[in-house]
Chain A
Amino acid sequence: MEPINIEGTPKTPTIKFDSRDGVFEIKGRSIPENSVEFYKPLNEWLDAYMQVPLDKTVVNIKLEYFNTSSSKCILDVFKRLEAIHRSKHDVEINWFYEEDDEDMLEAGEDYDSIIKVPFKMIEIVE
């Protein structure tokens, strides 16, 4: 599978999904008007990865801002990771949030309560 490498823009995040090392990253801002269009290729890529996942997949989420339509698309990403986890493969989600950004911490906790995958909340201290 070809890795996904998408450069971030002021409205869309940097995406690095690599099936060779099983490390995935979503970083930056996710506030496009049409999130579904942006996340569609990512979820299609994950559908293929789910067929042949590595023993361990590590997902790093380092978002500064995201809008509500992205929140659903990110949940769809997590649901695919949950399916991989259910199929007896290790999946770890690292949710990074900036110091004092309680809204971003709460957003991570929301996902943690919905998705049955180990979540690690990691505070970034400046």
Chain B
Amino acid sequence: MSFDLENLVSDLDIRDAILYFKGNIDSEVINKVLDSAEGRLLSSHENPRLRKKVYNVLVESLQNLYHHADHVPSGYRAARPDRFGLIMMEKTLRGYRITTCNFVTTTRVRELETKLTKINTSTSEEIKELYKEILNHQEITEKGLGGLGLIDISRKTGNRLEYKFVKYDNLHAAFRLSAMVTVD
């Protein structure tokens, strides 16, 4: 069987996902996904603190895909090769899990792993200081501020970010990132 981004979430039951999208992540898709998620959260009378955190994490996750997903490998079937990704959200016992999948070039794998390891091994106080350091001293580009989205997701959730890379070919890896959004 040929590889599909969906293979990265085969351990999750996508039939139970309250939100699922795979395809080109453009501005219109982001609007629709956010509208849909907000509608679901409001209609289920979710705790306002949790609802806001989930919305924030969804915004950053979608915009990470929009700005940072690399082109799909040649030969991979996608309607459009750029900004191709997958996003899903599930309700769990303690909150919500938001998962994104996309392709990255192998040269970026180490850079991403370094960032994620630093985030996952930092205390909440260190994460806060790191956030302020990048906010105050890094120049913004049209893609945002390097790594600030990941730091923000970690800070908002207070949980470790779960991730994995699966080699696709010599030049590309598939990247999965999951954030558990919970409140005390």
| B66 close to A (CB within 8 Å) | yes
Enumerate B29-64 residues with CB–CB distance to A below 8 Å.
Answer: 30-31, 34-35, 48-49, 52-53, 55-56, 59-60, 63
B136 → chain A closest CB, angstroms:
5
A67→B60 contact, CB < 8 A: yes
A33→B30 contact, CB < 8 A: yes
Given known A34-B142, A65-B59, A103-B56, contact A11–B135 (CB-CB < 8 A): no
A residues near B35, Cβ cutoff 8 Å: 10
Looking at the complex, which one of B31, B132, B140 makes contact with A114 (CB distance below 8 Å)?
A: B132
| B148 close to A (CB within 8 Å) | yes
A residues near B60, Cβ cutoff 8 Å: 67-68
A residues near B142, Cβ cutoff 8 Å: 34, 36
A113 to B128, CA, bound (A): 12
A35 to B136, CA, bound (A): 16
B140→A73 contact, CB < 8 A: yes
| B107 close to A (CB within 8 Å) | no
A residues near B27, Cβ cutoff 8 Å: 33
In the complex, the number of residue pairs spanning A and B with C-beta atoms less than 8 Å apart equals 67
A1 → chain B closest CB, angstroms:
26
Given known A34-B142, A68-B145, A68-B149, contact A114–B49 (CB-CB < 8 A): no
Given known A68-B145, A68-B148, A73-B140, contact A113–B132 (CB-CB < 8 A): yes
A31→B59 contact, CB < 8 A: yes
**Which residue of B31, B55, B135, B152 has the most chain A CB atoms within 10 A of its CB atom?**
B135
A residues near B156, Cβ cutoff 8 Å: 103
Q: What are 24 A-B contacts with C-beta separation under 8 Å?
A: A10-B31, A33-B63, A33-B67, A34-B142, A35-B140, A65-B55, A65-B56, A69-B63, A69-B140, A69-B144, A71-B135, A71-B145, A72-B144, A72-B145, A73-B140, A75-B135, A98-B48, A100-B48, A100-B49, A101-B48, A101-B49, A103-B52, A110-B131, A114-B135
Chain B residues with CB under 8 Å of chain A are 27, 30-31, 34-35, 48-49, 52-53, 55-56, 59-60, 63, 66-67, 128, 131-132, 135-136, 138, 140, 142, 144-145, 148-149, 152, 156
Across the A-B interface, the 10 shortest Cβ-Cβ residue pairs: A69-B144, A68-B148, A72-B140, A68-B152, A68-B149, A31-B59, A114-B136, A67-B59, A110-B132, A100-B49
